[in-house]
Amino acid sequence: MTTDTTTRTATTTASTRTRRLDAVGGHLVLGAITVFSLVPIVWMYVTALRPRDDVLGQSVLPTGISLDNLRAAADLLPLGGLIGNTAFMAVGVAACQLFTALLAAYAFGRWHFRGERVLFLIFVATWLVPFQVTMLPNYILLSNLGWLNTLTGVIVPQITAPFAVLLLRQHMRSFPRELLDAARMDGRSHWNTLWTVVVPSLRGPLAALAILLFVTAWNEYFWPLLVLSDPASVVQIGLRSLITEAGTDYGAMMAAAGALCLPILAVYLLLQRQVVNAFVRSGLK
């Protein structure tokens, strides 16, 4: 009896030690990833605050603090206009993707029909299609429609997001079916049920998804670069205009990039809890 107790105690101790080592290893890996992720951001703001003659300095800390780079960026770029246009583009893309994802998720979550699973897999599989495959047909179509160099041309080809459908479908499948059946028995149409029953109940996940879609649209680089050419259109094109044949003004570029990142960083820091909750409740991590 004493031998069995001793053996169980030793096994428990070894298991606890293994879990602690696994936890320490996991935290070390996460810490290393965090440091590697933060280095470019820290370097951007440090460079933005360096004096103009020390922009390309290799020291970790600047020799002095100066706002000359920010003044140069404000002279070269219409920062207010860039932020406004980019916010309009990001809000437009996020709103359209949220609307189409809500309709698709309601259909996949509310109705069961033959071929439903295959259709959903095909829909989600479009997520795996590289952007380079669709960029040329979309560009030619926009050219024929006369939508090049317009924000409409940036927004319309991005009005659907398979990721958003996948995320909302997870919430719809866990939505109480009794509420939907009760709304049906009350004589409500599907459209009315969607907006008066489903949407108020999914306010949290919808808000979190809207934030994610907004951040993704704000950070999108290649498609706006392909469609737009006016340096005063959106943030991406404005920053690119600082790269010229005469050289690149790295100080002004870092200062402009740092200033243009602040709105989206503020939005994410204020609402990060809703973003994490949406992933946890949907089962996607």
pTM for the whole structure: 0.76
pLDDT digits (tens, 9 = 90+) for 200-244: 888 878 888 888 888 889 888 888 888 888 877 888 788 888 887
Q: What pLDDT, on the 0 to 100 scale, is given for residue 279? A: 62
Any residues with CB less than 8 A from the CB of 188 and at least 6 apart, and which?
A: 196, 197
Tell me the CA distances in angstroms from 104 to 9, 96, 118, 217, 233, one per residue in order: 54, 12, 14, 20, 32
pLDDT digits (tens, 9 = 90+) for 18-30: 888 888 888 899 9
Which one-letter amino acid corresponds to residue 150? T
- CA-based angle 211:215:221, to the nearest 5? 160
List the chain residues with pLDDT less than 50: 284-285
Q: Cα separation of 189 and 181, whole Å?
A: 11
